[in-house]
Amino acid sequence: MKSMKHYKTLSALHRDNGFPQPEHPLISMYQCNQTCSIGDREFTSDFYMIGLKKLKAGIIKYGRTRYDHENGSMMFIKPRQVVELKDLHFEENGFLIFVHEDFLNGHPLHTEIRQYHYFDYEINEALHLSPKEEEIIWNFYRNLQTEYANNLDEFSRELMLTTISSMLKYAQRFYKRQFINRTDMSGKMVSRFNDVLSAYLGDGRIHTQGLPTVNMMADQLNISARYLSDLLKQETGKTAIELIHIFLISEAKNLLAGAEHNVAEIAYQLGFENLSYFSRLFKQEVGLSPMKFKKQLVS
């Protein structure tokens, strides 16, 4: 069995995919047509990749939600993330931008880019653009292409990174819009989230598999952990882990209202192996220790 291909240089990636050799060793760009087939097999790289593609046929799915294939679809891939796209046929009007992680060294974008969680989203959680949004992104691409094709000078790197930074900021804005639209199309994610938590507690998996984690919840909901947290944050103002804690403490308050179990038994019942952790989390959420809360109920 062959090991997965890993690209350390842009020239190797360009060569393997039949692209012209890059103008710069640490940044490159390529405009796609129907023959742009990068990612037909799994690979990893040392690059950030930003892509915009239009499907010629078929439908992009996110979870169980279908998107109109005529809209532009952006994807964002970070270094060492596994890339694979199969059996997709594209129209013209697509592009790929590759930025080696070393190109960001010493620039604010080196830190800033880590704040964009969409680089951790799965491929099927791509950004779906309206025609107006797509034109904005194309304008950034054209500006970047103009600078990339010029004779490189001491201003080139700064101007290219500033353009990429602006494109990523707009992508963040457009994802916010997509979260709102997804809520309208598929109902509140928080309701589905709580349903999964209730089932996890109700069927006893909390005893065999331990406390629910964000990754476990994301797997159950068929989305990536980053996308789940960002979507829930948009809906509720709370992250996925905060909502898990709120759910568990709500269950704890309900159990503490009964007389049949003490605090340690309730903590165990809810999957907490460490009583002090349960007590600390409870106090953080409620403002009282579990014991004081139970005494307050009795009095």
CB contact at 8 A, 220 and 230: no
Q: What is the pLDDT of residue 66?
A: 45
Nearest residue to 195 (alpha-carbon basis) of 211, 175, 178, 217: 217
Neighbours of 229 (CB within 10 A): 22
Query: Tell me, which fold does domain 189-298 have in CATH?
Result: Arc Repressor Mutant, subunit A (1.10.10)
Pairing mode, if any, of strands 27-32 and 94-100?
A: antiparallel
pTM, full prediction: 0.68
Tens of pLDDT, residue by residue over 109-155, are 998 998 888 887 765 677 888 889 989 999 999 999 999 988 878 88
Helix (H, G, I), strand (E, B) or coil at 52: strand
Tens of pLDDT, residue by residue over 79-92, are 877 776 555 566 66
Tens of pLDDT, residue by residue over 32-77, are 765 555 655 667 888 998 988 766 654 433 333 444 444 557 888 8
Domain extent listing, the chain: 5-186, 189-298
The CATH architecture assigned to 5-186 reads: Sandwich (2.60)
